[in-house]
Amino acid sequence: MVGKALTIAGSDSGGGAGIQADLKTFQELKVYGMSAITAITAQNTLGVQAVYPIPLDMVLKQLLSIEADLKPDALKTGMLFSSELIEAVSGQIKSFQWGNVVVDPVMIAKGGSRLLQEDAVRSMRESLIPLATVITPNIPEAEALTEIPIRSMKDRQQAARILHKLGADFVVIKGGHGNGNELIDLIYDGDRFLEMKSFRIATKNTHGTGCTFAAAITAQLAKGESVLDAIQIGKQYIHAAIEDSLQIGSGHGPTNHWAFQHRRVRAHS
């Protein structure tokens, strides 16, 4: 039986982030992809030109249709835009008893546009994080959720502890926004800290990296993999996708979803 993965997120007309990145990732990792669209963005590699939130009722109808017939093995949340949406979506996830929930707490796009209203951070903290199997904030998102400034690895560990206490089983604080040639994603399971290290790829083509990483974790969970293995495959997938990124558009180009499988084929031939 094929694993079924759901993304609850915003649409990116440029195809690099959001729903589009998630479905590409699901396809590449060989799970059946489904979507519930929370907002439509007019977006390209240069930035976000407009945001149109989908009426709450229509978002809930999408989730109901999926529950009535398809039922996901794993799901991820991305752009949820407002406090109302976060609370309603969290309520549905809970009442449908959907498990394997990956929360990517999307707040601000690369160019600076807000993808989450400022007053919605509290709902994320109180309603969504308690349902998370894995939460994958970048450093600014972890700072907003925990209200502590993050400058050192000790600060990151402290933020991870807070997010775990709020109810996330596994916390991954991503290091894309850090400095230096080495890049560390910090994992915390409530007991141990694990540092997932890689080298920093020098490229401006990093549009959709957060979405893609979380979607790859979701795909692996939908196939029944353990959370730690899913996070590690997620890292391999996004690293390959950034390393072989695509020169498309004149801003922050998208990642390359073919890279991961191409490398596997090469490694086995």
Ligand X SMILES: Nc1ncnc2c1ncn2[C@@H]1O[C@H](COP(=O)(O)OP(=O)(O)OP(=O)(O)O)[C@@H](O)[C@H]1O
Ligand Y SMILES: Cc1ncc(COP(=O)(O)O)c(N)n1
Q: Is the CB of 226 or the CB of 247 nearer to ligand Y?
A: 247
Known active-site residue 224:
no
- C-beta of 154: minimal distance to ligand X in Å? 19
Among 43, 138, 218, 220, binds ligand X (CB under 6 A): 138
Of 25, 136, 146, 206, which is the active-site residue?
206
Binding to ligand Y (CB under 6 A): which residues in 101-130?
A: 106, 109, 115
Binding to ligand Y (CB under 6 A): which residues in 65-94?
A: 78-79
Q: Is the CB of 12 or the CB of 244 nearer to ligand Y?
A: 12
Instruction: Give the per-residue contact string, 23-42, with ligand Y (x = CB under 6 A; - = no).
Output: ------------------x-
| 114 residue type, one letter | R
User: Under a CB-based contact definition with an 8 Å cutoff, are residues 23 and 5 in contact?
Assistant: no
Q: Is the CB of 63 or the CB of 187 nearer to ligand X?
A: 187
- C-beta of 87: minimal distance to ligand Y in Å? 19
Known active-site residue 212:
no
Of 7, 45, 209, 255, which is the active-site residue?
209
- C-beta of 3: minimal distance to ligand Y in Å? 22
Catalytic (active-site) positions: 174, 206, 208-211
What residues make contact with ligand Y under the rule CB under 6 A? 9-10, 12, 17-18, 41, 43, 78-79, 106, 109, 115, 207-211
